[in-house]
Structure formats: C-alpha cells, structure tokens
Amino acid sequence: MQTMQCSFSELQITPGEVEELMGFEPGASPEPFPEMIQQALNLAPAICHIEGGYQLFGAVSIDPENKTINIENQHFSPGKIVISQLKRASKAALFVATAGTGISDMARKKAAEGDELMAYVLDVTGSVTVEKAAGKIKEQISEEASRLNMAVTDSFSPGYCEWSVAEQQKLFSLLPPGTCGITLSGSSLMNPIKSVSGIIGIGTYCKQNGYQCNWCPDEQCIYGKIKRRKNTKKNS
C-alpha cells in the first residue's frame, strides 16, 4: 500500500474552486460568500488532516458481457458506464483519500451555533479538499503506470455512475484495515465524511476519456452539474 500525507497548502485550493462546487462561476459568487470562503480557506490548514493511499493489483479480470470486475477474491458489479471505461485494463489501483474529521466537526459546530451559512461553506471546502487530495493520489498512480509503460483510465467511485455504494465494503476488504483512518458504516458510508475511494484501470491500451456525464441518469450529482454547465457555456 502506497500512502501519502500532505499539507493543506500543497493542494493549492483557490476560492474559485469552492465557488464552482457551490454552483457559482469562479469569481462570481454573491456576497457574503467571497469573504466566508476566504475564512474557510484560512481555517482549513489547522483543521484538515489530509491522507491518501492506493494499492496496485496485477490480476484483474474484466467481463464486459456480465459487467463485472474480479480482483483477487472480490467480484464487483459497477455497471455499464464503469465497465465500458475499464474494459481494456489488465491491472487496477484501488485508492482512498480523506480530509480528516476536523473540517466536518467545525461545520457541525457552526451549524449548532446557528451559523448555517458558514457550516455550508466549510462543508463545501471539505469536499474540494478531499477531491484535490484524491487528485494527488491519481497523479501517483499515473506515474507508476508510466513506469510500467502503461496508461490509466479515469477514476470511478462506488455511489457514482450507477455503481452501488454497497460495494464500498468489497473495495475496503482489499485494502489494509484502517487505511488512512477511514471506516465504513453499516450502510457503506465512509467516516470521516470527507473521504473518497475508487478504482483506476491500468493497461497498455487504457486512456482517459473524461467523465461521460451525458450517460449518467443522476441529475443531482454536483460534478455532473458542473460539467453540464461548462458544456452549455462552451456551446453558447
């Protein structure tokens, strides 16, 4: 298992990235958000404990017809979207990343004090933080694939792209217990809340196609909303 810890400053998070996840154009959020976002970014270095890691698996069997992935003793059924993107993979990396409990604890504290708006800003900042941390892990996986003269796919996570979040249990069973301090609830949700997990395919003929949000029926996915908004702006 390859692991990583990094400081908040290493993620180089900008106010615009927080605004974008909130549904605003970068630099165009209304008052009082710009000041609150900056407050959250100033608080984050002291309350985020950023960790991540990945494990590479060399024996991966993908069955496009039955839409399954077999890794060691676990059989995943991630659905047609994920299978279509990973079907050329001969290896796979399972990864996790977390922002720790601190930023979510602070958001709950602000909510309990009646400051719901600041609680929301902190919550979104935590989401951006863990996504940026996962980005660093993905870079490491891509570098390892390059050393093997292979390429990588996009990453996919249980709970997205019609992949059942319940298969989180299978994913974590293939990682060392207590990886990055992340645990699963009975309903397969991660704790700390600001954590992500997923799979990346690796192989000679793999490539990153970008997320095909037009294939996905989840209209509430914030990442899909961002991509659709960008596409609409680009085509207008």
For the stretch 151-199, pLDDT in tens is 999 999 999 989 999 999 999 999 999 999 999 999 999 999 999 999 9
**Please, which contacts does 135-139 make with residues 24 or more away whose CB atoms are closer than 8 Å?**
136/4, 136/6, 136/10, 136/11, 136/52, 136/97, 137/4, 137/52, 137/53, 137/54, 137/95, 137/96, 137/97, 138/95, 138/200
- Using CB atoms within 10 A of its CB, is residue 205 exposed (0-12), middle (13-18) or buried (19+)? exposed
Q: What does the pLDDT read at residue 59?
A: 86
Kindly give, in sequence order, each residue whose CB lies less than 8 Å from that of residue 127, ignoring residues fewer than 6 positions away: 21, 194
Residue owning tokens 């930023």: 103
**pLDDT tops 80 at residue 234:** no
Q: Percentage of residues in the chain with pLDDT exceeding 90? A: 86
Q: Label the pairing between strands 68-71 and 183-184.
A: unpaired
CATH code of residue 118: 3.40.109.40
**pLDDT tops 90 at residue 37:** yes
Give the span between the Cα atoms of 196 and 179, in whole angstroms: 12
b/e sequence 161-186, b meaning 16+ C-beta within 10 Å: bebeeebbebbbeebeeebbebebee
pLDDT tens for 56-72 read 999 899 999 999 999 99
**pLDDT tops 90 at residue 129:** yes
The enclosing H or E element of 91 equals strand 91-98
Q: What does the pLDDT read at residue 29?
A: 97
Task: State pTM to two decimals.
Answer: 0.91
Q: What does the pLDDT read at residue 73?
A: 86
Query: Mean pLDDT, the chain, as a whole number?
Result: 92
Range of the structural domain that residue 178 is part of: 2-235
Total structural domains within the chain: 1
Query: Which one, of 38, 181, 169, 184, lies nearest residue 102 by Cα?
Result: 181
